[in-house]
Amino acid sequence: MFAPMTKTHALLLGAAGMALAVVVVGLFVLLQPMFNSGTSGLSGQVRSSGTALVGGPFSLTDHTGKPVTEKTFLGKYMLVYFGYTYCPDVCPGELQVVAAALDELGDKANQIQPVFITVDPERDTAKHMAEYVEHFHDRLIGLTGTAEQIAQAAKAFRVYYAKVDDPDSTEYLMDHSSIVFLMGPDGSYLAYFAYGTKPDEMARKLAQHLG
Ligand code: NI
């Protein structure tokens, strides 16, 4: 019934197939962040693809002056957020979301260690971090370190930060990514919460991971 395919037809079909494949893969890559934040059913896929990308060794100092590494937090889920105490709005807002989500989880929240890592070690001393974290949650741990240690930790979590110099002031702002990461008790990456996630949504997704 069909005429045998000419060489040209086969080539055209092949090219069309390739183009379709490129479009499908491209769409998947583009939409993946949406799956991650919106569709819990696909979290398994996101989990496996993100495992190697986020997290890793770090060596820092907690707000009591005690040295800590990623191993310090093994055995507990860890909710990690990078920011700085002089941040005018984004950081305090996000830490309030984390605190509210933990409150919403009740006793289950005891499985989670919330951690705030500064991207501004120059001003955020351990003492300064101690005064800051207590405003948000009684179990929130603040971490600081040398500039090199902070750079290493931020690199492990793929967090971007940069000092924004203001020629008119001795003060400065830090530009930084605002993402909350959930790490598993074995230190592996489980999920992230984009800026703007509401406390009840965060609590609901956390509960799914806690089981
Ligand atoms: Ni901030």
Domain tally, the chain? 2
pLDDT, position 42: 39
Tell me which of 40-44, 63-67, 167-171, 203-207 is least confident: 40-44
Q: Which residues contact 191 (CB under 8 A, 6 or more apart)?
A: 36, 43, 46, 47, 181, 182, 205, 209
Query: 68 C-alpha vs ligand 1 centroid, how far in Å?
Result: 23
Q: Please check the confidence at residue 177 and state whether its pLDDT lies above 50.
A: yes
Specify if 43 maps to a domain.
no
Specify if 2 maps to a domain.
no
| 166 and 200 within one domain | yes
| 128 and 26 within one domain | no
27 CB neighbour count, 10 Å cutoff: 10
Neighbours of ion ligand 1 (CB under 5 A): 83, 87, 90-91
Calculate the average pLDDT of the chain. Answer: 84
Q: How confident is the model at residue 179 (pLDDT cuts 50, 70, 90)?
A: very high
| Residue ranges making up the domain that contains 33 | 7-38
Query: 16 C-alpha vs ligand 1 centroid, how far in Å?
Result: 47
Q: Please check the confidence at residue 173 and state whether its pLDDT lies above 80.
A: yes
pLDDT, position 105: 97
Query: 87 C-alpha vs ligand 1 centroid, how far in Å?
Result: 4
Query: What token pair was written down for 65?
Result: 């002056």
What digits encode the pLDDT tens for the residues 62-121? 999 999 999 999 999 999 999 999 999 999 999 999 999 999 999 999 999 999 999 999
At 176, give phi and psi (nearest 5°): -160, 155
Specify if 45 maps to a domain.
no
